[in-house]
Structure 1
Amino acid sequence: MAADTTCPYCYETFPVRDIMFRCTARPGSTGSRCKAERDPVLEERRGRRGELGPVFTARPRGQLAPCPTCQAVSTFRICPVCHSTLPAQFGMVDNRLIAMVGAKASGKTVYMTVLLHELMNRVGSADGIALMAADDETMTRFGADYQDRLYRNGELFHGTRPAGANDHRVDPLVFRFGVKRRRLLGTRPEHTLLSFFDTAGEDFSSQESVQLNTRYLANADGVILILDPLQLPGARLPARSDSGLPNTEGTDSPINVLSRVTSMLLPHRSDPGGRRGSGRISTPIAVVFAKLDAVWDTLDPGSPLRAHPPGGARFHTADSLDVHEEVRHLLREWRGGQIDQILDSNYRHYRYFGISALGNSPTPDSLVAPTGIQPYRVTDPLLWLLSEFGSVARQERR
């Protein structure tokens, strides 16, 4: 068990031994019961109101601990900082925090929804991957606010609410990711807790608003940066005529968003060592160019971005590197070379990806196209990050 861990809800880091418990507020072995009460810490940190069992510290027996007041055995382990109930086996399996960032209208929320839907349904069942919500709130929110809205109603999202509009609180979605790994004695599943933090584009429109998210990004294990290629001047003219063209300048431009995120990460996650790469950010960042369908017709027939991606529960390194170099080449054509310069100078581990979450441009009234949702390469960025963490095996050869 790791000495320190990070809460998947508030992103604060603390020693595992500091994990606290919450009483069940049901009768214990003595026949008495603790009275449910308000938790001011939970209200302040996460806006959760209502009456719950009191919080206590204990020397646990595994994941169980008796309340010192009523002796009722509790399985409700909570974060010592925000008092959120921690997922099952927290601190006993890998815990990875992933921040999704990007400019306003870059497609972050659509991408996250399609990615998780694919892992839970089509991709996961075929490739030995299992993804499930790690708590009831994630199960309810992802189903009603994300998956049903996009897949059942065909409606796009109007934008993630800025952190400042919710008293600086953001609620991540927490999932349990399982993959079958081959070992000497056969295959066995390995699990990782994944916390997805979807920031609003407005949260990266100024240096001041970036600071609202400092704790989340500084403690994230990996970053998925969503960029819209149509915000780059060289990609706009040859793009499909039905593609909505976003603004190319101002605070929401890809270069400005990347610059602000980089400036925020440098003081917290830069490598202080004396080896090669010193001073660069150690957090791996997947740079994802979304809405690939808008520029599909401009790609060469032999482009790796046109190739059918390999399947399976492994990360295919050779295919990914081919895509990486192809996107780097396209960046020069799209007049976005400054993006590559910033990444190469400031990050130790970065990788380019090209994806399409929907497969076609939405209708003018912000609905999914009549052809339906046809995602392309949406799992590549997450599998790369998981391979960097060691949670997913790599396939080095073709």
Structure 2
Amino acid sequence: MNGALYCPYCYHRFTARQIMFRCTGRPGPTGRRCESRTDPLLAAHTGDTAPRPPAFEADGRKGSARCECQVETTVRICPFCHSQLPTHFGAADSRLIALVGAKESGKTVFMTVLLHELRNRLGESFGLAVMGADDYTRNQFPADYEDRLYTERQLHESTRTAAGTREGRRPLVFSMTLNRRRAFNRSTIDRSLFSFFDTAGEDLRSADSVERNARYLAAADGIILLLDPLQMRGARPLAEPGTPLPEPGGARDDPAGVLSRVTDLLHDAGRTRRGGRIRKPIAVVFSKLDALDGTLPEDSALLRDSPRDAVYDEADGRAVHEEIRALLDKWQGGGMDLLLEQNFERHRLFGVSALGSNPVRDENDVQRVSEYGVLPRRIQDPFLWLLSEFGTISRRDSPRRAAPDNTAAKRRL
């Protein structure tokens, strides 16, 4: 473990030597047992007030340490928030992906469907094994995210702002393993950690709130920026009849404004040289695209499913990028592509639909999944592109012909 590390829970930077340990709480050789108490640092960052054995400093480069009670422990914790670090932390590629977006852009639904796909159909196609890296993720994601959307068929409530919560929101941290073929028919297991933090749209409404609530952006290896085209003046009139439109938020919620503020923050955090561009990749994703299906040609790349081969298809991705780029002019967001080109070394435009069709409201005015169920389209594209940028999965650059799958168009008829 060499160089700087970032905690996947609080996103502070530290070295391997600074990693701390927590006592196991078991009796030592003399019968002494360390007393368990609430860890104030852990409680402040996560709201976890459960009594725990004490934390102590030792050389974090080693896999274990001995507490003053003489009990040996392998429980490693972050020196800033005292969260227990996942297995293989430091040894695995700790890829931190920040998910940000404007108010009502559908970030929580997007994250839930993406992770569901990674843990099921997509994981099988790519040979990915995705699992929660800690007890919180293993318990909360199925109960509060997957079951709510897929079993109860109910959409999630708006994410609370960090400023309006008693404790900071906790990210979902997943461990991903990939069996990769090497030379001479050998294979190795690549392990990565992915940390998803769902920030509220209101946290991106002003420069001050971005600065207070988005430290994780600076620590992230890649950014997924989710934007709602229905917040754009040119796109709103084009939506399918009956589409629930977000409340107009003015300049604060305009996708171009959100992109500009995120760009400024990343420049400041990375101390980009004058005239330089941001090096970390950003996937700019336009959500709820099913509401605009009627405006797309029948052979649109946005209407067909993503390629299902175990590589990122560059030709397909470029076709989607160019199509979104052309749509930005129609949506009155033409300057966004120029902003990305001038400020980021690596960027890509995407169009996705997490649900596949408009949600409906029941008799209690609760938003629910439509009768068709959850039918995502191109939901994995941004994540796979980032994986290819990291070198985690391979990229196919050769042109590829694919017959359009106009499932969405057929469903409208």
| TM-score, normalised via structure 1 length | 0.94
Q: Distance in 2 between matches of 1:170 and 1:60?
A: 26
SS across alignment from 1:282: coil
- Partner of 1:369 in structure 2? 370
Distance 1:209 1:61, change over 3 A: closer
Q: Where in structure 2 are the equivalents of 1:196-345 lying within 5 Å?
A: 196-248=196-248, 249-269=250-270, 271-272=272-273, 278-345=275-342
Give the letter aligned to residue 45 of structure 1.
H
SS across alignment from 1:286: strand
What is the number of equivalent residue pairs in this alignment? Answer: 393
Q: Deviations over 1:293-350 (max 9, x none)?
A: 1111211122221233211332111111111111101111221102112212221111
- Partner of 2:383 in structure 1? 382
Q: Distance in 2 between matches of 1:368 and 1:306?
A: 20
SS across alignment from 1:335: coil
Distance 1:45 1:308, change over 3 A: closer
Q: Distance in 2 between matches of 1:363 and 1:329?
A: 30
Q: Distance in 1 between matches of 2:4 and 2:98?
A: 20
Alignment check: 8 A CA contact 1:128 1:312 kept: no
Give the letter aligned to residue 204 of structure 1.
L
SS across alignment from 1:100: strand
- Residue 61 (structure 1) shift: 8.5
- Partner of 1:96 in structure 2? 95
Q: Percent identity?
A: 50
Alignment check: 8 A CA contact 2:19 2:61 kept: no
- Partner of 1:17 in structure 2? 17
- Residue 60 (structure 1) shift: 6.3
Q: Where in structure 2 are the equivalents of 1:143-182 lying within 5 Å?
A: 143-167=142-166, 169-182=168-181
Give the letter aligned to residue 135 of structure 2.
D
Structure 1: tracts of 5 or more residues without a match: none
Q: Distance in 2 between matches of 1:200 and 1:178?
A: 29
Distance 1:167 1:209, change over 3 A: farther
- Residue 279 (structure 1) shift: 2.1
Alignment check: 8 A CA contact 1:230 1:236 kept: yes
Q: Where in structure 2 are the equivalents of 1:28-47 lying within 5 Å?
A: 28-47=28-47
- Residue 50 (structure 1) shift: 2.6
Alignment check: 8 A CA contact 2:20 2:59 kept: no
Distance 1:75 1:235, change over 3 A: same
Give the letter aligned to residue 139 of structure 1.
R
Alignment root-mean-square deviation, CA: 1.7
SS across alignment from 1:330: helix
Alignment check: 8 A CA contact 2:93 2:191 kept: yes
- Residue 234 (structure 1) shift: 2.2
- Residue 48 (structure 1) shift: 2.2
Q: Distance in 1 between matches of 2:170 and 2:243?
A: 31
Q: Distance in 1 between matches of 2:61 and 2:15?
A: 17
- Residue 122 (structure 1) shift: 1.5
Distance 1:80 1:60, change over 3 A: closer
Give the letter aligned to residue 150 of structure 1.
L
- Partner of 2:138 in structure 1? 139
Alignment check: 8 A CA contact 2:18 2:60 kept: no
- Residue 168 (structure 1) shift: 6.5
SS across alignment from 2:187: strand
Runs of 4+ in 1 over 6 A off after TM superposition: none
Alignment check: 8 A CA contact 2:16 2:61 kept: no
Structure 2: tracts of 5 or more residues without a match: 401-413
Alignment check: 8 A CA contact 2:97 2:221 kept: yes
